[in-house]
Amino acid sequence: MPVSLPDNLTFDQDGKFISLLKIPNSTNTSGWGSLLLPVIVVRNGNGPTVLFTGGNHGDEYEGPIALRKLANELKPEQIQGQVIIVPYLNYPAVLAGTRLSPVDGLNMNRSFPGSPDGSMTPMIADFVYRELVLRSDVVVDFHSGGNSMVFEPCVVIHHLEDTEQMKKTVAAAQQFGAPISLVLRELDSKGMLDTVVENCGKIFISTELGGGGCVSPRTLKIAENGIRNILQHFEILPPDNEVVPETRFMETPDIGSYIMASQEGLYETLVGLGEPVLKGQIIGRIHSLTHIDAPAVKVHSQIDGVLITRAGRASVKNWDTIAVIATDLDVSEFDVNLAV
Ligand SMILES: [Zn+2]
């Protein structure tokens, strides 16, 4: 049984519509039960459509909190255009506080474009792709590192083949106003929401706003400011000032940016997030839990740059990502017109 569209889910009428998407969820304790996933649509007249999603991974919280606030506070008369809000994209994972869905064990961000006949995660992905992504001009998907990683707060975009699409995406990332705007080439982009949106020629922005299963006042503020800045950038909200937010464009240039644990143990980080590092510098140590007299394993940076990610938990396993080093990126070639 596929997802049932609520009667009040409409994209063609002005107003604010809070709908609950009914997703069949037969369990041992609720044979004919369903999960009710909130989808909020706010529309006023003609204009661009922006889709905001949070909870793609269930252990990342700035998006769900900021979007829940937006869903409750945004009024149709404030905007020109349409705002679609899904605060808890992988709702079972958000309810469980886990990265993956406890229902089918799947990663939402490897399940797009989804399937109406699949298990719950691809079923939700299919609805989001067909009903929400295809009618949107811009998609902003909030991530925050999760339980296992912590980030210096950043917006994440990708290197795109289409120059015009890249220019618009760089301009939107700039305007979001996170401390860092990270331009990535994904090693494994299949099944990501990012990929299906970008392949439609639309503007896609993701974030990594902290992590470790926590929310801080700083990271939540970045999310809330970013939402407002994006709505102003696309002229859905009127601008309230002319200040261009500051951000530092960076990239992860090669495999040397990603540092994996060479053994399991306790990871001692020696460098703070956002701090510069030099090639060869010892940035951390792994302490064995099985050999009390074994020397700690030194972890070196492979490149000059800035530490933007570290392990979110001291206890690490072999080949966990324990550090990511980024370098500055010159985006002047994209001729970003910031006076929107
Ligand atoms: Zn995530």
What spacing in Å lies between the alpha carbon of 38 and ligand 1's midpoint? 19
Same domain, 50 and 186: yes
Q: Which amino acid is at 35?
A: L
What spacing in Å lies between the alpha carbon of 145 and ligand 1's midpoint? 6
What spacing in Å lies between the alpha carbon of 311 and ligand 1's midpoint? 14
What spacing in Å lies between the alpha carbon of 290 and ligand 1's midpoint? 32
The CA distance from 75 to 79, in Å, is 7
Domain boundary among the residues 193, 223, 250 is at 250
pLDDT tens for 147-162 read: 999 999 999 999 999 9
* Eight-state DSSP code of residue 54: -
Q: How confident is the model at residue 338 (pLDDT cuts 50, 70, 90)?
A: very low
Q: Which amino acid is at 273?
A: L
Give the closest residue to 44 by CA, choosing from 75, 70, 67, 18: 75
Same domain, 161 and 301: no
- Which tokens is 245 given? 């937010």
What spacing in Å lies between the alpha carbon of 240 and ligand 1's midpoint? 31
Using CA atoms of 75, 79, 85, 87 in order, give the dihedral in degrees to the nearest 10. Answer: -60
pTM: 0.95
CATH code of residue 178: 3.40.630.10
Angle between helix 217-233 and 163-176 (nearest 10): 130
What spacing in Å lies between the alpha carbon of 70 and ligand 1's midpoint? 20
Q: Cβ of 243: how many Cβ atoms within 10 Å?
A: 9
Per-residue confidence (pLDDT) for residue 1, from 0 to 100 = 60
Residue 279 falls inside a structural domain:
yes
Per-residue confidence (pLDDT) for residue 73, from 0 to 100 = 98
- Which tokens is 187 given? 């090693």
**Residue 316: domain span:** 255-328
pLDDT tens for 261-285 read: 999 999 999 999 999 999 999 999 9
Per-residue confidence (pLDDT) for residue 335, from 0 to 100 = 63
Q: How confident is the model at residue 256 (pLDDT cuts 50, 70, 90)?
A: confident
Q: How confident is the model at residue 340 (pLDDT cuts 50, 70, 90)?
A: very low
What spacing in Å lies between the alpha carbon of 211 and ligand 1's midpoint? 9
Per-residue confidence (pLDDT) for residue 241, from 0 to 100 = 72
Same domain, 225 and 270: no
Q: What Å distances lie between residue 152 and 62, 137, 312, CA to CA? A: 14, 28, 12
Residue 4 falls inside a structural domain:
no
* Residue 267 neighbours by CB under 8 Å, 6+ apart: 261, 284, 285, 286, 287, 299, 311, 314, 315, 316, 322
The CA distance from 166 to 172, in Å, is 10
What spacing in Å lies between the alpha carbon of 144 and ligand 1's midpoint? 6
- When mean pLDDT is compared across 2-11, 49-58, 178-187, 192-201, the lowest value belongs to 2-11
What spacing in Å lies between the alpha carbon of 157 and ligand 1's midpoint? 14
Per-residue confidence (pLDDT) for residue 245, from 0 to 100 = 85
Domain count, the chain: 2
Percent of the chain predicted with pLDDT > 90: 88
What spacing in Å lies between the alpha carbon of 142 and ligand 1's midpoint? 7
Domain boundary among the residues 200, 232, 250 is at 250
Angle between helix 217-233 and 62-73 (nearest 10): 50
Domain boundary among the residues 250, 275, 298 is at 250
* Residue 158 neighbours by CB under 8 Å, 6+ apart: 169, 183, 184, 185, 186, 189, 194, 198, 204
Same domain, 231 and 264: no
Same domain, 204 and 174: yes
What spacing in Å lies between the alpha carbon of 190 and ligand 1's midpoint? 15
